[in-house]
Amino acid sequence: MSDIELDPAIVKVLEYAKEKKTISFDELSDMLPEQILNSDKMEAIINLLVSSNIKIEEEVQAEEEALPKLVAIPSKSKMVANDKEMASDDPVRLYLRDIGRENLLTAEQEVELSRTMEQGEDIIKNTLRKSGMLIPEFYQIVIKATRKEPKDLSLQKKENTEKIAERRRLNQFYKELIDCYAVDLKGYVELKKQIIAKGGDIFEDKQLKEIRERLLPIVNTMDIHPEEITVFSEKFIATAKKIIRYRKEQDRVEGILQIVSSKDLRALGRNLTIKEKREQIEQRLGLSADEIKDRIRQLQVNEKKLKDIENTFETPIDKIISMAREVNRGRKMMK
């Protein structure tokens, strides 16, 4: 028996939880003293509860015994006649009335709904695997799962407990990824950062391409937890919206500057350094040289934002937008 199991407070929690077969984060927060809740012991306690086949719930489940006993259900005619009476604040009566009005699915409809949701999830997974985002995102999972953070005293007890539970979830679900490929993922991400810092092209760098081609088949066989499916798909859709917004802004500024390409932009910048041409440009555009330079900077900033997105997703901009549509289609099927 470990030292932690001899602690009177923990013994009390175990006895209580074993009797119920479940315990909530709120109950843990109430039963354990502050010095344990804000210590590294919490992770060991959660592991101990799970190994004892005790389910950890988000919230306290209502006890069945707490519900009042129901009397015999009256006839349909009486129920209709007493509808006003049923409008009382009796929660059990209100629940029975409301649930009776719901159109429940047939067995066939439930099967069809389940099949549709699975298809939606598969669409999202396949789209994520076609993009290049999984390698850097899986590396972030490795960091979250293995990083030992000091207890944040500014957080509530429940929040600290939930952080430990989240780290445990990642370690369990992505065990193979963490145990076998953490070093490879780290090496890839660090090399990618070096290439970007030097102004290189992550799509053309030979060394990075070799590592990517080796890692992609591995990460594409890894399952993705529903929690990450939600996070990754939301990130995809939010990013697609950013791309559309940046491009609209670019089109607007290019219209003001009367240019249509990067070549035109470079020529405009060069001509502003020549007095005679600068005056002609100012007159033609109806803007001062400083205002024109501000617009040019806007275009350059937007271009950098778009390039950063490409580097993050390791996917061309146009492809990200089309993939986001597929992700959104899958999300709708899962609702």
pLDDT band per the 50, 70, 90 thresholds, residue 80:
very low
Side-chain half-sphere exposure of 296, counting CA atoms within 13 A: 18
Structure tokens belonging to residue 79? 């129920």
pLDDT band per the 50, 70, 90 thresholds, residue 157:
low
Least confidently predicted of 7-21, 64-78, 93-107, 157-171 = 64-78
The fraction of the chain above a pLDDT of 70, given in percent, is 80
Q: Report phi then psi at 284, rounded to 5.
A: -65, -40
Q: How far is CA 239 from the centre of its chain?
A: 13
Q: Quote the pLDDT of residue 63.
A: 43
Q: Quote the pLDDT of residue 56.
A: 78
pLDDT at 112 over 60: yes
pLDDT at 13 over 70: yes
Q: Quote the pLDDT of residue 111.
A: 85
Q: Quote the pLDDT of residue 3.
A: 65
Q: How far is CA 85 from CA 78, 100, 102, in A?
A: 11, 16, 20
- Which is more confident, 299 or 18? 299
Cross-strand partners of 57: 24
pLDDT band per the 50, 70, 90 thresholds, residue 155:
low
Write down the domain spans for the chain: 3-60, 111-334
The answer to whether residues 132 and 236 touch, using CB atoms and an 8 Å cutoff, is no
Q: Quote the pLDDT of residue 11.
A: 82
Q: For 217-274, write each residue's pLDDT tens digit.
A: 999 999 999 999 999 999 999 999 999 999 999 999 999 999 999 899 999 999 999 9
Q: How far is CA 308 from CA 14, 125, 129, 318, in A?
A: 50, 23, 20, 14
User: Does the CA dihedral 207-210-216-218 come out positive or negative?
Assistant: negative
Please provide the average confidence, as pLDDT, over all residues in the chain: 83
Closest CA to 31 of 161, 199, 175, 208: 161
